[in-house]
């Protein structure tokens, strides 16, 4: 763990806000397992080659994101698969698109694993009487499903998604909504735990002046703006214990 701003950690936080994807679990392995499962099913159903699947999927993602911009719906796997099937010459195939979406998320969840001691860190916050909110991009349905699957849905007092806020991080609204719902007293320090340099670290600092704690692991580069850079949640547990 690298502590870059000791002053920001002088007191216990009045609240902790936390990202979900790639912060409480590793996103890339889960996505790869889900992607491979959806590809196998598409190859089986359509009789296409695997080499045809990936470029069609990537182009579908690109088109959906360009059309919808920085919105929660721009992450919709249902929209990706629906457009992919159209690009593969299938026209609209609602049943198949829904089937592929469910295949993707079912395999995504089964391949997802919480980082060690994340649950214990959340329990430490509960015992300390520190309110907690999740602040996350993507649609509410799948983010709720993730937290329920992991068994940590009751550890968060509030969950704010970009679908609810109407804008994605690093926009200020999701962060501000979380603080409003937690009713954090003005002047109380707020910790934000996330992985993304722009969406989480820069976003939380600009929006609410949060003390930022960046979770780093494979594929994540430490941000120059983060107050704390850590690898393991046991390190945050120790940090919380030391805070006055």
At 132-145, the pLDDT tens digits run 999 999 999 999 99
Is the predicted pLDDT of residue 10 greater than 90, yes or no? no
- 193 vs 213: CA distance, rounded Å: 5
19 is catalytic: yes
CB 228 within 8 A of CB 220: no
**Domain spans, the chain:** 2-25+114-242, 29-110
Select from 131, 148, 183 the least CA-distant residue to 20.
148
| Residue-wise burial string across 69-93, b where 16 or more C-beta atoms lie within 10 A, e elsewhere | eebbbbbbbbbbbbbbbbebeeeeb
Select from 141, 175, 142 the least CA-distant residue to 160.
175
| 186 vs 183, residue with greater confidence | 183
The pLDDT > 70 percentage for the chain reads 100
Q: Which two tokens stand for residue 14?
A: 């009045």
Q: What is the mean pLDDT of residues 166-176?
A: 96
Per-chain mean pLDDT for the chain:
95
Q: Which two tokens stand for residue 214?
A: 């960046």
pLDDT at 243 (0 to 100): 84
Q: What is the pLDDT of residues 37-57, one digit of tens each?
A: 999 999 999 999 999 999 999
Select from 176, 22, 143, 177 the least CA-distant residue to 75.
143
Select from 167, 156, 219, 222 the least CA-distant residue to 17.
156
pLDDT at 174 (0 to 100): 97
From the candidates 21, 157, 200, 227, give the one annotated as an active-site residue: 21
- 121 vs 189: CA distance, rounded Å: 18
Residue 11: pLDDT band (50, 70, 90) is confident
- 53 vs 35: CA distance, rounded Å: 10
From the candidates 19, 137, 195, 196, give the one annotated as an active-site residue: 19
User: Given 3.40.50.1000, 3.40.50.700, 3.40.190.10, 3.90.1150.10, which CATH number is that of 2-25+114-242?
Assistant: 3.40.50.1000
pLDDT at 244 (0 to 100): 67
Residue 186: pLDDT band (50, 70, 90) is confident
Is the predicted pLDDT of residue 21 greater than 90, yes or no? yes
Could you tell me the sign of the dihedral formed by the alpha carbons of 191, 192, 195, 199, in that order? negative
Q: Is 167 exposed, middle or buried (0-12, 13-18, 19+ CB in 10 A)?
A: middle
Select from 221, 242, 240, 241 the least CA-distant residue to 231.
221
Q: What is the pLDDT of residues 66-118, one digit of tens each?
A: 999 989 999 999 999 999 999 999 989 999 999 999 999 999 999 999 999 99
Q: What is the mean pLDDT of residues 182-210?
A: 94
Is the predicted pLDDT of residue 185 greater than 80, yes or no? no
Select from 160, 167, 128 the least CA-distant residue to 144.
160
């Amino acid at each position: 763990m690298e502590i870059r701003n000791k002053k920001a950690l002088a007191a216990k936080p009045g609240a902790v806000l936390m990202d979900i994807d790639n912060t409480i679990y590793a996103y890339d392995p889960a996505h790869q397992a889900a992607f491979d499962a959806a590809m196998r099913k598409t190859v089986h159903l359509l009789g296409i080659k695997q080499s045809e699947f990936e470029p069609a999927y990537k182009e579908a993602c690109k088109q959906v994101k360009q059309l919808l911009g920085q919105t929660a719906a721009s992450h919709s796997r249902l929209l990706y698969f629906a457009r992919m099937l159209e690009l593969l010459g299938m026209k609209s195939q609602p049943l198949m698109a829904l089937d592929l979406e469910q295949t993707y998320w079912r395999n995504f969840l089964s391949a997802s694993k919480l980082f060690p001691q994340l649950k214990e860190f959340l329990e430490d916050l509960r015992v300390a009487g520190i309110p907690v909110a999740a602040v996350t991009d993507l649609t509410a349905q799948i983010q709720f499903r993730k937290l329920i699957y992991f068994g940590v849905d009751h550890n968060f007092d509030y969950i704010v998604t970009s679908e609810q806020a109407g804008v994605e991080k690093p926009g200020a609204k999701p962060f501000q909504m979380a603080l409003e719902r937690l009713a954090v007293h003005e002047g109380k320090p707020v910790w934000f735990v996330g992985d993304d340099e722009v969406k989480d670290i820069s976003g939380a600092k600009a929006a609410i002046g949060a003390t930022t704690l960046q979770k780093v692991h494979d594929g994540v580069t430490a941000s120059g703006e983060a107050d704390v850079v850590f690898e393991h949640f046991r390190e945050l547990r120790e940090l919380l214990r030391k805070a006055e």
